[in-house]
Amino acid sequence: MANLEAVRNITISLPGHLVDFADEEAARLNTSRSSFIARALAEIKAAKEEQLAAEGYRFYADEALQFAEESSGEVRR
């Protein structure tokens, strides 16, 4: 399925070595600089979302374990 999200044009300033890197990688991947940078940002966003989800799972697992431990004492009485 094609990405139907509206594209916005922005102007950013980057150090020359990062522009060179983006251009080299875009050429290697046979894509545009904009597409390469968008893909890189999307990957960073996905990694951040995955990290936040993992933290949430750990929090709720710890909370569930604590509840189970506290409840098991009530069941034994």
- Residues with Cβ within 8 Å of residue 14, at least 6 apart in sequence: 22
> Residue 5: inside a domain, yes or no?
no
Interval 4-14 mean pLDDT? 91
Could you tell me the maximum CA-CA distance found in the chain, to the nearest angstrom?
A: 70
Cα 48 off chain centre by: 3
> Residue 1: inside a domain, yes or no?
no
In this predicted model, what pLDDT tens digit does every residue of 13-44 receive, in sequence order?
999 999 999 999 999 999 999 999 999 999 99
Looking at residue 49, what is its pLDDT? 92
Looking at residue 2, what is its pLDDT? 56
> Residue 10: inside a domain, yes or no?
no
> Residue 71: inside a domain, yes or no?
yes
Report the domain count for the chain: 1
Q: Which structural domain, as residue segments, surrounds residue 28?
A: 16-76
- Its pTM stands at 0.65
Interval 35-61 mean pLDDT? 89
Q: What value does the mean pLDDT of the chain take?
A: 86
